[in-house]
Structure 1
Amino acid sequence: MDAPSPGKRAADAPKDPAGSGVRPWRGWGPVELVLFLANFSLALQRPLTTQYLWHRLGAEVGYNGTSRAGGCNDTADPKQQEVETMTSHWNLYIDLSSLFVGLFSATLLGPWSDRVGRRPLLVLSSFGLILQVIVYILVVILELHVGFLLLGRLLCAFLGDYNALLGTGFASVADISTPRTRTLRMAILEACLGISGMLASIAGGHWIKAQGYTNPFWLALAMLIAAMLYSAFVFRESVPNPHEASLFTLQHYRLIFQLFAAPSPGKSRKHLALYLLALFLVLTIHYGTWDIVVVYELSWPLCWGSDLIGYGSAAQHLSYLVGLVQLWACQLCLKDSWVAEISLAFNIVGMVVFSLSRTTALMFTGYGILSLSLVVTPVIRAKLSKLVNKTEQGALFSSIACVSGISMLSASGIFNSLYPATLNFMKGFPFLLGAFVLLIPAILIGVLEIFDPRPEYQQTLH
């Protein structure tokens, strides 16, 4: 991102209402680094938490066959199935504990950031994530009951959670980009997420194997502290004229209602609703498969250790970086919607391969196919962003954060319940179900593209 000239910065700076001549600090750093640091921490924590639950719950029932070195059985072990079921259920409880609080905070904080600026929300959400990691560290060090992990999620959700942080990052990109460049800019931001996740996954897998769970959690905490300090003192505010506004007011909820109810030039409630539905379905499959894939890899017949799990998680995050190159190349000859359709096709095939995977080679083949599958999310976010005004970006991305939260709940409820229920007849059935569900957003995006009457999404006819 090109640095604005001093003259432009002075013009964009908010005027001091008191006439003191003192302007608020606007900063100079891009938002991408905030998301890089925060996502590094989250990517380190996700498989770390699942593996901790697996080993902790396995110890409670007297099962330790968690890798080939540890004696993973070649047949279905009742104790292994019990640990798989308990781990899936605890993942569900942890996700449920934060959903409703997260929905309340996201809808409150997003429109608030349209007025006060993006910086306060970035700092607040980063602090919430810090509190969550502190609770997790205490659970690991003091061997507290795993139920305390729910407390960490609740504290984090009350202050916005990662969804609010992510939504604010995308809103900031929307603030400073043009409709023409917005899709690529959002893909660049997602590529930053992918690079950070890939690095965290590789490092975390080997680190857990060498030193256990405590030290990786400390690194996750350090990254979040760095993200909060960067947000507070370095990040360049993208809202041109931020001003003070009350946080606890119904006006913020009215702004979200008006986003879908109030007519305006170029805005289509039908398009907003259908694109959000498509995003909901894509994210539900995305979160759901991520919830169960580590348990799927830990158990028979794959019997992966923490190092292979780290490589697998890195391959998942590589999709963001590959998606950026894929989007840049495909935009030379295709419209965004058709690039998203290609992405969904790879996603469907990758899910089918996962459902049939019984060897490490086939599992990584699935990861390779899925590396071309994540272009769809930046395309949908960019299309939604183009449907609303500059002053509504925070409200829009808080709505997207709510959709993300609801999809996370749906994913946890469906996949963490379906996975243990289908172990006896087809272990990979949830992945196969995900492949079929992804046909729906593929149809929606294609129909919206074909029948969209607005010039922004149509080729010039003359």
Structure 2
Amino acid sequence: MEDSDTRAILPEDTLTSVDDDIPINETFCNNEEWPLSTQYLWDRISEDVGYNGTKGGGCANTSGAPDPLQKEVETLTAHWNLYINLGGFAVGLFVVTLLGSWSDQGGRRPVLILPSLGLALQAGVYLVVMYLKLPVAWFLLGRLLSGLSGDFNTILAGCFAYVADTSDRGSRTFRVAVLEACLGLAGMLASIIGGQWRRAQGYINPFWLVLATNLAAALYAYLFVPESVTPDPSAKLFTTRHHRAVYRLYSALGDPTEISSYTKWRRYKLWLYIFCFFLVVTVHFGSRELYVLYELSSPLCWGPGLIGWGSAAQNLAYLSSLLGLRTMQRCLEDSWVSLVGLASNMTGLVVISLANTTELMFTGYGLCFLYMAATPVLRAKLSKLVGPEEQGALFASVACVEGLCSLVASSLFNSLYPATLHIMKGFPFLFGALLLLIPTGIIGIVECRDQRTDRREDAATS
């Protein structure tokens, strides 16, 4: 494969709108802003280095020399994305665990309101940067301010803890899946309308929507969301007790003076499930970051319309996974439901790794129709391993793991893609499918062991 294939140099009449129409996936929440901000970084950096995107010939032209300016823009954009995300994650890592654990005593509503205001503040900083044409380094300030308020990961922690507070063990998996499906539905709607709006009116108005939506979310949480735990007025926020509570989750469960074999096994399962969650979400994030680049370049050479439909198909899987999970729960245990979801994900990734036509690419998306069935099962299993007074600390740690997944996925898959182009263009997707074999094996082994234990206990009692 020629090097120019990897850069997806499109004809002038299409390339000028490609970046405009990369879908605004999940625009309404923190990481949901990243396509917009990435596009803005690309355009600003392109303007700074004098790159206009038209210096190479068409996508089908695989004999042209690589454009050094495009490579420079790609590199600078990737670096600034990394700096911005790393800065937000580093600050948010401490704030998420602090607020999440504190919410077990202080209440869930504050951890829904404060991060929403922080995200609105971040959007406001981004708007100031755009209006005044400030250096892109100011984006980092907005990200840090959002991180200090807890960032989107704190909202996730608060929402999932709220669901755990208000559900029983039998319905928890499905209710967690409903919450995840809401994220997918938001992403699907944003994918359909975002690109056209961005192309018609530029960056400013979409970011005003981000600002208004986060303010509306904070107002809604303040006015209409009832508290799910009894707040303790004496609960202190700024204390190391909250971080120690997260540590205790993974160091011991229950009374440390009475560590039984059952308690140890619960602790091991907590570690095993969080490791499975890390691998599954890393593959989700990593493959998602490469889809647009994979579709833009040869041999697919998709335009804005197909890219929008492809992103909508990805997010539609949230709803199909929800329906599939609900159906399979009637006859299968949750663990086996998650294995079916992982099998769907692996099959779809293998097909996508080989896709050289539009039909085959959409076939891969179709085979992934249950790929989001695994994560709600893992979240619910983790929730059932801890007590009601530890749900905030648990989901705060899960949110931190999810933030770590984003960083690992971005660095791993974006490095793997150019490094393996000469071997197999779709290798990162195949690599993701192979990674998913690990959680598949772990979940299957844990479930088999639990079933054997239950059968022995039933036999002993009878």
CA distance in 2, matches of 1:416, 1:105: 28
CA distance in 1, matches of 2:458, 2:329: 16
CA distance in 1, matches of 2:233, 2:61: 63
| CA contact 2:321–2:373 (8 Å) conserved in 1 | yes
User: Which has the larger displacement, 174-183 or 99-108?
Assistant: 99-108
| CA contact 1:91–1:412 (8 Å) conserved in 2 | no
Select the residue among 205, 209, 216 that pairs with 1:219. 209
CA distance in 2, matches of 1:386, 1:66: 55
CA distance in 1, matches of 2:269, 2:243: 21
Per the alignment, residue 293 of structure 1 pairs with 291
Say whether residues 1:94 and 2:84 are aligned partners.
yes
CA distance in 1, matches of 2:323, 2:457: 23
Say whether residues 1:255 and 2:245 are aligned partners.
yes
Select the residue among 108, 112, 119 that pairs with 2:102. 112
CA distance in 2, matches of 1:125, 1:324: 27
CA distance 1:228–1:250, shift in 2 (3 Å): same
Q: Percent sequence identity over matched residues?
A: 55
Relative to the length of structure 2, the TM-score reads: 0.84
User: Which has the larger displacement, 249-258 or 78-87?
Assistant: 78-87
Per the alignment, residue 141 of structure 1 pairs with 131
Select the residue among 406, 409, 414 that pairs with 2:407. 409
CA distance in 2, matches of 1:335, 1:123: 36
Per the alignment, residue 47 of structure 1 pairs with 35
| CA contact 1:385–1:396 (8 Å) conserved in 2 | yes
Per the alignment, residue 6 of structure 2 pairs with none
State the Cα distance separating 1:455 from its structure 2 match: 7.3
Say whether residues 1:167 and 2:154 are aligned partners.
no
Query: Taking CA–CA contacts closer than 8 Å with sequence separation of 6 or more, which of the two structures ends up with the larger relative contact order?
Result: 1
SS in structure 2 of the partner of residue 452 of structure 1: helix
Select the residue among 53, 58, 61 that pairs with 1:74. 61
Per the alignment, residue 23 of structure 1 pairs with none
SS in structure 2 of the partner of residue 249 of structure 1: coil
| CA contact 2:337–2:373 (8 Å) conserved in 1 | yes
State the Cα distance separating 1:39 from its structure 2 match: 6.2
Letter in 1 for 2:45: L
CA distance in 2, matches of 1:456, 1:319: 34
User: Which has the larger displacement, 183-192 or 425-434?
Assistant: 425-434
| 1:297-320 Cα deviation digits (max 9, x unpaired) | 344444444443332222222121
| 1:308-367 Cα deviation digits (max 9, x unpaired) | 333222222212111110001101111111111111111112222232233333322222
Per the alignment, residue 16 of structure 2 pairs with none
State the Cα distance separating 1:253 from its structure 2 match: 1.4
CA distance 1:425–1:442, shift in 2 (3 Å): same
State the Cα distance separating 1:412 from its structure 2 match: 1.9
CA distance 1:419–1:142, shift in 2 (3 Å): farther
SS in structure 1 of the partner of residue 372 of structure 2: coil
| 1:155-189 Cα deviation digits (max 9, x unpaired) | 11121111111111000000010001100111111
CA distance 1:139–1:353, shift in 2 (3 Å): farther
CA distance in 1, matches of 2:65, 2:297: 10
Letter in 2 for 1:100: A
Say whether residues 1:347 and 2:345 are aligned partners.
yes
Letter in 2 for 1:333: C
Select the residue among 373, 376, 384 that pairs with 1:375. 373
CA distance in 2, matches of 1:352, 1:41: 30
CA distance in 2, matches of 1:421, 1:82: 17
Runs of at least 5 residues in structure 1 that lack an aligned partner in the other structure: 1-36
The alignment of Structure 1 onto Structure 2 pairs a total of residues equal to: 425
CA distance 1:309–1:50, shift in 2 (3 Å): farther
State the Cα distance separating 1:415 from its structure 2 match: 1.9
User: Which has the larger displacement, 310-319 or 49-58?
Assistant: 49-58
Per the alignment, residue 235 of structure 2 pairs with 245
| CA contact 2:345–2:368 (8 Å) conserved in 1 | yes
| CA contact 1:202–1:311 (8 Å) conserved in 2 | yes
Letter in 1 for 2:230: P
Say whether residues 1:232 and 2:225 are aligned partners.
no
| CA contact 1:194–1:318 (8 Å) conserved in 2 | yes
User: Which has the larger displacement, 236-245 or 317-326?
Assistant: 236-245
User: Which has the larger displacement, 194-203 or 174-183?
Assistant: 194-203
| CA contact 2:125–2:139 (8 Å) conserved in 1 | yes
What value does the CA root-mean-square deviation take over the aligned residues?
Answer: 2.8
Runs of at least 5 residues in structure 2 that lack an aligned partner in the other structure: 1-24, 255-259
Q: What is the correspondence of 1:203-214 to structure 2 with a 5 Å cutoff?
A: 203-214=193-204
CA distance in 1, matches of 2:134, 2:349: 36
CA distance 1:424–1:132, shift in 2 (3 Å): farther
